[in-house]
Structure 1
């Protein structure tokens, strides 16, 4: 298969997406249609076993478990208490509650695994306080939208599970690899907020006694325990990612029960939202694997690898090209679709160029983060706009999020220059 045919096929898929058809339907049709055209109807005989094996993949069981974990935390009020505790400690910094937005997003991300859930939860909790104190709308909404993207970088992450399953990369190592970049990106966001608000008038706040501040920290204990159970069990080697997710759910349910939140309505809300989100995710993954059967048999990945190698470009130039490619793609495609569509082709190409697939996993997650806050299809932008509560202009969110797009691109450049930021911790824990 020539490179021209590959690009034309990709453009056809994008064009069909613009018509509004579900991405899962498009990938399944393209996979089946392309396979039948190339190999005839017998190809469909091999598609059935692939679909069966994907849906029986034990690793994918972690996806609904991590989604359920985030739902339990949201419905039990943990996010509200986290926000209140961090507001007490960070309110007096330049930028005030904007730091609380980022910090609370980072903490919630460490247990939810979803950017959309993080942005929606923290946005719902934060916007009343921000509006009451007169914060600039663009800065407030932009910090929530950008902070929400940390949900797929700071482990555990549903997107890391998907990347690991599709690229055959260790999920445990991916989770560990995301810790330092996640913390550094959080720090970069907060440094930007502090610098950009140095000269701004901050809403007056009362001095809070240290005793009150220390007591408020108790609200951070439940999410810290859950994060410790999930990540600790993986690192200690006593649980797989799926088992650690189950342990996290059990711990969250126990804490919710101790707070008196367990009820039939509580379980109904948690399980219904988990089922809806899981159904959407797994349908896209299943369709992606159907497409991958055709891609594998037609040698698309090998053709693209040979083509890129023949260009003679350096690894750095290749990664810069991929940054531009993913930024453009993220403007018109949702994050999950972007991942499952490009991973089968991109991973063999970058591995042939000498890029560590573990490092590339974090790179792709960062590109997905960019896609979540770049219009016109930036999901976090719409989520935050939907929970703002005042029906203001959508451009407020776009303007507020734009500086964070620049920060994330610069941060990606930092990872390219110093790949050990990603690889050092997993190599230290797991060995080279």
Structure 2
């Protein structure tokens, strides 16, 4: 049963069938082969009950929030401000790329949106400053992945819905690992530029006056972040309501700065509708697939198979990490998560791991998938923005940052409290 599932899944993906259709067809195929009842008749009920989940309303709000920041120029001004504060470090603007991605991630909730937004405003600096193009592009690819780890995160919402885990606790758990990973990305750049100074390009200089004059440009993302996250932990709003507050804050800032026009709104709405439709199609198809694999007993079989291997907790975690590392090379991250998390998570929790902690590990594994070929989506996003050369350059530039993600996973495994300390304080 498991072999048929994997073969059908890989076969459909190899034919370039859209991911939502792949999951739906896979569910129908497994139902036809292994169920005495026509499970496809339950599709309407599954889609309806899933669509009624209030938490999923947060997704289009976070997508719209990122669109507004991009279309009104907030992201571009934020990047320009950070550039003035980073030139003293070896690697200069590459640290600004990572810092901008971290700050934008704290408002957008999406890795693709983070990589695309920061890449749009940063890529032109490569030739101007004489940076190593590969490493410069790698910082955007890797920095963009912070969008699914640093809260608010769309993927954390999906994980919380799939596993019935508290989203506010997941958000708190993502803070310190997100800061740690951003620091490790920056440290990677620093070490490489110290070993080979030519990678760091021409040093830029800024006066303290210039730096202080640009500080107001850093306020919009900070205000939006406080509106989103602060409202949750002040008890003023739920995760979904906080996303709406973030949109209101972004609209208000854009209006005050006189950048909110009808054209900007229409463009932002169009991008939001397109992205949300894609995400919801995948989630609805995945929920039907999850319903089928539970009904035919595949989840129980996998659980029994893994249990019978007699693995220790660390061996089980190593198998899970290896599984996602391989699968992430061939599947888009959201579809990979919704197709596998309902199967893997019960096994991991049964082994004694905390579901909140495991949610952070899943986010890190999804980050790995976003920068590993051949299907690493951030690689293609940045290459598309570059509009020249071969994607090999982007892949090579992103390679050093894979080690930083693996090190972060190792740190969280040895010291789980890095992720769990903040949630424990909120009880």
TM-score (norm 1): 0.96
How far 1:322 moved relative to its partner?
1.3
Aligned counterpart, 2:68? 72
Question: Structure 1 27/203 Cα, relative in aligned 2: closer, same or farther at 3 Å?
Answer: closer
Show structure 2 runs of 5+ residues with no match.
none
For residues 57 and 263 of structure 1, what CA distance do their matches in structure 2 show?
32
Matches within 5 A, 1:126-165: 126-165=122-161
For residues 410 and 299 of structure 1, what CA distance do their matches in structure 2 show?
36
Q: Pick which of 20-29 and 225-234 moved more.
A: 20-29
Residue of 210, 213, 225 corresponding to 1:212: 210
Aligned counterpart, 2:109? 113
Residue of 162, 166, 170 corresponding to 1:174: 170
Residue of 238, 244, 247 corresponding to 1:240: 238
Residue 232 of structure 2 contacts residue 242 of structure 2 at CA under 8 Å; is this kept in 1? Answer: yes
Aligned counterpart, 2:28? 32
How far 1:43 moved relative to its partner?
2.8
Aligned counterpart, 1:19? 15
What SS is found at the alignment partner of 2:237? Answer: coil
Q: Pick which of 26-35 and 323-332 moved more.
A: 26-35
Tell me if 1:123 matches 2:134.
no
What SS is found at the alignment partner of 1:197? Answer: helix
For residues 78 and 174 of structure 1, what CA distance do their matches in structure 2 show?
27
For residues 348 and 106 of structure 2, what CA distance do their matches in structure 1 show?
28
How far 1:46 moved relative to its partner?
3.0
Q: Pick which of 308-317 and 295-304 moved more.
A: 295-304
How far 1:42 moved relative to its partner?
4.6
Residue of 262, 283, 286 corresponding to 1:288: 286
Aligned counterpart, 1:403? 400
Residue 97 of structure 1 contacts residue 130 of structure 1 at CA under 8 Å; is this kept in 2? Answer: no
Matches within 5 A, 1:31-430: 31-198=27-194, 199-201=196-198, 202-205=200-203, 207-389=205-387, 391-429=388-426
Residue 5 of structure 2 contacts residue 30 of structure 2 at CA under 8 Å; is this kept in 1? Answer: no
For residues 117 and 45 of structure 1, what CA distance do their matches in structure 2 show?
36
For residues 206 and 158 of structure 1, what CA distance do their matches in structure 2 show?
36
Q: Pick which of 366-375 and 258-267 moved more.
A: 258-267
Residue 331 of structure 1 contacts residue 377 of structure 1 at CA under 8 Å; is this kept in 2? Answer: yes
Residue 305 of structure 1 contacts residue 352 of structure 1 at CA under 8 Å; is this kept in 2? Answer: no
RMSD (Å), alpha carbons? 1.4
How far 1:113 moved relative to its partner?
0.7
Q: Pick which of 298-307 and 323-332 moved more.
A: 298-307
What SS is found at the alignment partner of 2:157? Answer: helix
Residue 132 of structure 2 contacts residue 201 of structure 2 at CA under 8 Å; is this kept in 1? Answer: no
Task: Describe the superposition over 1:35-71 as per-residue Cα deviations: whole angstroms up to 9, x where unpaired.
Answer: 2443345533433212111111111110100000000
For residues 153 and 60 of structure 1, what CA distance do their matches in structure 2 show?
18
Residue 87 of structure 2 contacts residue 205 of structure 2 at CA under 8 Å; is this kept in 1? Answer: no
Question: Structure 1 10/207 Cα, relative in aligned 2: closer, same or farther at 3 Å?
Answer: closer
For residues 29 and 192 of structure 2, what CA distance do their matches in structure 1 show?
52
Task: Describe the superposition over 1:198-248 as per-residue Cα deviations: whole angstroms up to 9, x where unpaired.
Answer: 250454445422222122111111100110110111112221111000000
For residues 422 and 64 of structure 1, what CA distance do their matches in structure 2 show?
27
What SS is found at the alignment partner of 1:135? Answer: coil
Residue 102 of structure 2 contacts residue 143 of structure 2 at CA under 8 Å; is this kept in 1? Answer: yes
TM-score (norm 2): 0.97
For residues 9 and 220 of structure 1, what CA distance do their matches in structure 2 show?
48
Residue 92 of structure 2 contacts residue 203 of structure 2 at CA under 8 Å; is this kept in 1? Answer: no
Aligned length: 425
Question: Structure 1 403/203 Cα, relative in aligned 2: closer, same or farther at 3 Å?
Answer: closer
What SS is found at the alignment partner of 1:392? Answer: coil
